Amino acid sequence: MSSKVTFFGITLAFAGLSYHATLLATQHALVVGINQYSASSGVTQSLKGAVNDATLIRDRLRDIQVQLPEERVLLDERATRAGVIQAWKQMVKGANPGDTLIFTYAGHGSQINDKDPLDEQDGKDETLVLYDAVIIDDELIQLFSDAKPFNIVFVADSCHSGGLKSKGESKMCRYAGEISSADQQTIVTNTNGDGKEQLTHVTFITAQQSDASPVCEITEMDRPHGALSWFFAKALQGEADAKNRNQELERFELEDYLKQNVSQRNGVQLPEVRPSDNRPVIALLGKKVTPPSLPPVSLNLPEVAIRVKNGSAPPGLKRYRLAQGNNFDLRFVVKAGEQVDVFYNTGDRVAVSLESQNATQWQRVIDKELLLQALATQFDMRLTPVRIHLTKGGYQQPARIDELHPEGELLNFSVSPKDQRGGLNALTLFNLAGNGELQFLYPLDRLNHSATLARFPYSLKPLEIMAPFGGDHLVAILCDQPPRELQKLLETQQSSIPEPGQVIAMLHQQRCQVGQYAFFSCGKGEEGCN
């Protein structure tokens, strides 16, 4: 049985697992991060967080005794095409068969016209944009194919395709636009084209599942970062090893940890880990993994950081602070006519047409953000993740996580635990609209919903996009027993947001796992709303 994954536009076939690297072998790394590009690269927009990503990952890799000399930490002008290829080949030359090779990249991704072999359906090769030139997907596959005696982990924190559409204000995204075909000599000698390379020894970790989805920077600890890099670094600290605590990171652990945390932190981003299996790929040498603890009941959440453009916040707001620079959670933009639109720090639009001095409307949006932050702390690595799947239209077409859904479109959601043997079969489901309105969806007595579900996935009746438009968050909670107090609270609150501490305390009366899914909508007649 084989599986397939799209990586930089290539469909790669993975045969059944027959190769298992011993994680007692030496681990080596090559780390690349590029903010500033030369004119010859074709890049017109610098980044802010890629070098931060590289230095953070460098430190975490060294913490777990990965061999990472300074000559293999390539930042900005040192990360040339020739320099990266040479560093990779020297790392391979210095390793022994069975060793692990870790290659992380943070920077711009792009496209060029397809070069030999002509194997791309859209006529475009996807690329990593290095300081002075690109390296195309076929070349990376060739490098990895030539290193089959090794266990390879490749992490790409960049956009890797076109089709990028902004849903709000401009944001720092890692897509450099289409670049004219490069003149450099390619290193491809024996690639067989899409779907024909057997790369069972490679673990691909990419920032998005969809080639057409954006990868935009976030702010963590007052510094810009890529969400994938930030949480990959935390995974290396042992946070992804909470289930079995064996001081190894298996593919399934990385997949569960990265998908859940990245998507909760940056709602339009869903990373990919392929192949998806239980093979160990990184050893946490010298890292003492502490037993997992229950998600916190007593919350110490900071106030929601906001910025206000073209005006000031109405008096009487609570649980917020005014932020400086780009270190904010929400940005309120006052427009002509005293209407206010609200954006995340990624640039995605949260809410539209609030009144500039209506404290109640502003407070609901702030309270929603606070509750989402609280719920994000309740993801329990000891339990199987909650999976929320979205399709659209009457024919249930696939939907991208970053897609902008127009007024009147039908959305089809389904919810399930990743592993149904975990005993989490009591579902609580509600939606938080962009304006902070709470919409309780399951279980409803008037619809005779069952307290527990006999089978999964559970599919909601189609939901139609209508006002209020902006950013919605579907929240699914799966427990081993129905959290009746919580359900009663949510159903009676309805349009207002309950206190986060009260919600969390009620969650801890059962054994529960929490999942979130962000989706964005627009009204007819709005620019870019198809």
| Stretch (H or E) spanning 259 | helix 251-265
Phi, psi of 331 (to 5 degrees): -120, 120
CATH topology of domain 377-522: Immunoglobulin-like (2.60.40)
Choose the weakest-confidence range: 58-72, 277-291, 357-371, 454-468: 277-291
User: How high is the pLDDT of residue 72?
Assistant: 98
438 versus 182: the higher-pLDDT residue is 438
φ, ψ dihedrals at 58, nearest 5°: -55, -50
3-state DSSP of 154-205: EEEECCCCCCCCCCCCCCCECEEEECCCCCCCCCCCCCCCCCCCECCCEEEE
Report residue 290 as tokens: 């502490």
Tokens representing residue 356 in the block: 């500039």
Q: Give pLDDT, residue 114.
A: 54
In this prediction, what percent of the chain has a pLDDT beyond 90?
64
What pLDDT does residue 385 have?
94
More confident residue, 240 or 164: 240
Going by pLDDT thresholds of 50, 70 and 90, the confidence category of residue 157 is: very high
Q: Tell me: pLDDT of 169 over 60.
A: no
Predicted pLDDT of residue 160: 56
Q: At what angle do helices 227-236 and 50-63 cross, to 10 degrees?
A: 10
Best CA proximity match to 208, nearest among 418, 442, 372, 403: 403
Which pLDDT tens digit goes with each residue over 89-121? 999 999 999 999 999 999 998 876 555 554 444
Q: Which residues pair with 175 in a beta bridge?
A: 109
Residue 212, pLDDT score: 61
- Lowest mean pLDDT of 25-34, 45-54, 217-226, 409-418, name the range: 217-226
Q: What is the pLDDT of residue 13?
A: 40
Q: Over the chain, what is the mean pLDDT?
A: 86
Better pLDDT: 164 or 233: 233
Tell me: pLDDT of 430 over 80: yes
CATH code reported for the domain at 3-283: 3.40.50.1460
- Hey, which residues does 330 pair with through a beta bridge? 306, 344
Residue 447: what pLDDT?
92
| pLDDT, tens digit, 9 for 90 and up, residues 317-344 | 999 999 987 789 999 999 988 899 999 9
Whether the pLDDT of residue 391 is over 80: the answer is yes
The burial class, CB within 10 Å (0-12 / 13-18 / 19+), for 205 is buried
pLDDT above 80 (res 192): no
* Burial call 30-47: b when 16+ CB within 10 Å, e when fewer: bbbbbbebeeebbbeeeb
Which range has highest mean pLDDT (19-28, 201-210, 214-223, 445-454)? 445-454
Task: List, for residues 398-408, the tens digit of each pLDDT value.
Answer: 888 888 999 99
Kindly tell me if the per-residue pLDDT of 244 is higher than 50: yes
Task: Report the pLDDT value the prediction gives residue 6, as an integer from 0 to 100.
Answer: 41
pLDDT in tens, 286-310: 877 666 678 999 888 889 999 999 9
Specify the higher pLDDT residue, 18 or 526. 526
The span from the CA of 450 to the CA of 471, in Å, is 29
Query: For 484-513, how does the pLDDT look when each residue is reduced to its tens digit (9 = 90+)?
Result: 999 999 999 877 899 999 999 999 999 999
**pLDDT level of residue 177 (50, 70, 90 thresholds):** low
CA distance 245 to 1: 30
Please name the residue that has the structure tokens 């579900």.
453
Q: Is the pTM of this model over 0.75?
A: yes
pLDDT number for residue 188:
54
| 8-state DSSP, 235 | H
- The answer to whether 153 and 282 have CB atoms below 8 angstroms apart is yes
- In the chain, the N- to C-terminal Cα span, in Å, equals 40
- What is the rounded distance in angstroms from the CA atom of residue 507 to the CA atom of residue 481? 10
Res. 211: pLDDT tops 90 = no
What pLDDT was estimated at residue 421? Answer: 86
Give the model's confidence band at 170: pLDDT under 50 very low, under 70 low, under 90 confident, else very high.
Answer: very low
Higher pLDDT, 67 or 13: 67
Q: Is the pLDDT of residue 16 over 70?
A: no
CB-based contact 7:209 (threshold 8 Å): no
pLDDT attached to residue 382: 86
- CA angle, corner 298, sides to 488 and 322, nearest 5? 95
pLDDT of 3 strictly over 80: no
Residue 196: pLDDT band (50, 70, 90) is: very low
Q: Domain boundaries in the chain?
A: 3-283, 304-373, 377-522
Lowest mean pLDDT among 157-161, 379-383, 444-448, 489-493: 157-161
Report whether 375 contacts 438 (CB < 8 A).
no
Percent of the chain exceeding pLDDT 70 equals 84
Q: At what angle do helices 251-265 and 359-376 cross, to 10 degrees?
A: 170
